[in-house]
Amino acid sequence: MDFFAQQARVRGSSRRLVALFVLAVVAIVAAIDAAAWLAFGHHPAAGEPAASNLPLLLASSGAVIAGIGLGSLFRIMSLSGGGKAVAESVGAVAVPADTRDPQLRRLRNVIEEVAIASGVPVPDIYLMADEAGINAFAAGYSASDAAVCVTQGCLDNLTRDELQGVIAHEFSHVLNGDMRLNIRLMGLLFGILVLAVVGRKVLQFGGGRGSRRGSGGQVLLIGAALMVVGYIGYFFARLIQAAVARSREALADASAVQFTRQTDGLAGALKKIAINAEGSALQVANRQEVAHMLFGEAGSFNALFATHPPLLERIRMLQPGFKEADLARMAAGMQREAAPPAQASGPAAASGVPGMPGLPLPPILTGVLAGGVAAAAPAFRRAATVQQAMPASLGEAVQQPESALTVMLALALSLKAELQPAQRRIVADAFGDDVQRAVQAQASALAALAPIARLPLVALAFPALKQLPDGRQQTLLHALDELVKVDGRVDINEYCLARLLRIHLSEASSPRRAPVDGVKKLPAARDSVILVCAIVAAAGCSDEASARRAWLLAMQQAFPGEAIDWTPPPAAWQAPFERALDDLDGLSPMAKELVIQALLRAVHADGQVSVEEAELLRVICASLHCPLPLGEDGGGQVAT
């Protein structure tokens, strides 16, 4: 599944949402104006001159627009904390990083694997402990402040493969830009509903005092109009919510298949929703507010308001031969057996529908399982391998804020003995002698860490690092800059560590300020593309001739037919590189896809991907706010 194309679709959905919302507001204003004119307007008798009702109508229109706008703004501001705020608004509780509960430990492991494979920091993890239905959602303004929330029903009913399919589905929303749109939609729905709430209050309390002044009837008329029009507006807002959500769910299902390279897990989760008594329903009072971002329907709503395609339709997209009668057999089998049914392994799905090899795949999945997902299984396996091979002491250290800080500092320490005294002084000056000694202790544990696992370790540490006070985060970033410059030069590994942390921590601290998709076309950032490709090509090659060849391949991909002269990257490359990345972040999603394709041509020029190339690619994707190509390197062999 092409995440860049999905991001472009999300942009289109956002524009349509705004247009439909504006139309709804215009209709509401017109209706309230009509009620105000009937209640308080001047209605001249025949032959009398018509008095102007313009001030009345302007006041009425302004009050309605202000009410909707302030209501929407209030709700969006209340969710300014990003994914965490949304999760807590539905009563979810954070899953501790050091949990020993087997179900929660399995959940964390699955989410960490998907995060490493997709090149994003591990999100905050939340549990709706009182919800027996099978459901989940991802929320936030960007990957850096994302939260993934699951119900207890997911943990109680799903196998690991099924849970993995659900989590992969939710990560597709993280990667394709759905989450920011989801939060905006929550705010707009709330703003329209405010009118109905105000109208109900006016009817309850507004007419008493006015009746003594002879205007009680007019006040009640306005109250009734507000309530009726508010609920009519909410009706259409719910239609908008359902339409926006339904159009994305099939894409998210296909994206989950791309991640896991098998359909059985996701299909199994959908089947269990169909046969379980609780289904995917939520009991929380404000479930309708988050209905459009859930994995399954929040309740038994009218088909008109359904935020997801029918379950059987979603299952048949994954397994075309599936019949409704199969659900009854599956339910009977689950009742007979205490253990859950065995799950097929990922590769079995690569050549047709699992368990039904004679049936063709549906069009939306043909490319995904036939070719486009060829790198997904290695990426997922590599993520699991990195996670499992992590020294136990490091895995525990990155779960707590202060020890995670020491691990990040230890990652920046040089292996050269002559540089270490100066680096120890930098750490001691910034954090004290106790932290300096803890950093030295972590450095010995890091000696056993494979180089390719350095940045995935940053992703695992990120939830803990976000909990540090802002001042301590800034001190950490400053200390990292000083550590990597102690020898007068900055190598690629050191730069990537500092840059990645700076991006994610800054966006996590101010979620609503996370950049939105740009609009620039590729030619507008031509010089930046040339420089970034040159730096990546030079990083992966041992001589200038090889670097030039890799760079030319990238240029042919990005600017076919153009004659561009090769210029080696400057010795002091970091500052120009940062400016170029900021420039490229302003590109449209489809232009960013061309940049990533060009970089992959350079990376694969010699048939091997160095650690430096893999880390640069991860940092570039984070800087451009786009997904990492599957397998970190797009499918090549990573040198460890």
Tell me which residues are annotated as active site. Answer: 170
- What letter would DSSP give residue 144? G
What is the Cα–Cα distance from 417 to 421, expressed in whole angstroms?
8
What is the Cα–Cα distance from 99 to 115, expressed in whole angstroms?
19
Q: Position of tokens 């940045």? A: 455
Task: List strands edge to edge, sheet with 136-139.
Answer: 93-94, 124-128, 147-151, 136-139
What is the Cα–Cα distance from 630 to 615, expressed in whole angstroms?
14
Q: Position of tokens 């390279």? A: 261
What's the token pair of residue 341? 């049914």
Comparing CA positions, the residue from 415, 423, 460 lying closest to residue 123 is 460
Main-chain phi, psi angles of 520, to 5 degrees: -70, 150
Question: Are 73 and 66 in contact, with CB atoms under 8 Å apart?
Answer: no
What is the Cα–Cα distance from 637 to 629, expressed in whole angstroms?
13
Beta bridge partners of residue 638, listed in sequence order: 609
What is the Cα–Cα distance from 3 to 624, expressed in whole angstroms?
13
Burial track 574-606 (b if 16+ CB lie within 10 A, e otherwise)? bebbeebbebbbbbbbebbbbbbebbbbbbbbb
What's the token pair of residue 58? 């302007």
Question: Are 249 and 309 in contact, with CB atoms under 8 Å apart?
Answer: yes
What's the token pair of residue 265? 């897990």
Please report, in angstroms and rounded to a whole number, the separation of the first and last CA atoms in the chain.
Answer: 28
CA–centroid distance for 406 within its chain: 28
What's the token pair of residue 45? 């008798």
What is the Cα–Cα distance from 283 to 497, expressed in whole angstroms?
43
What is the Cα–Cα distance from 236 to 310, expressed in whole angstroms?
21
Q: 617: exposed, middle or buried (C-beta count within 10 Å: 0-12, 13-18, 19+)?
A: buried
- What letter would DSSP give residue 204? I
Question: Are 151 and 134 in contact, with CB atoms under 8 Å apart?
Answer: yes
Q: Strand 136-139 relative to strand 124-128: parallel, antiparallel, unpaired? A: unpaired
Type and span of the H or E element at 213: none
What is the Cα–Cα distance from 508 to 502, expressed in whole angstroms?
10
Beta bridge partners of residue 94, listed in sequence order: 126
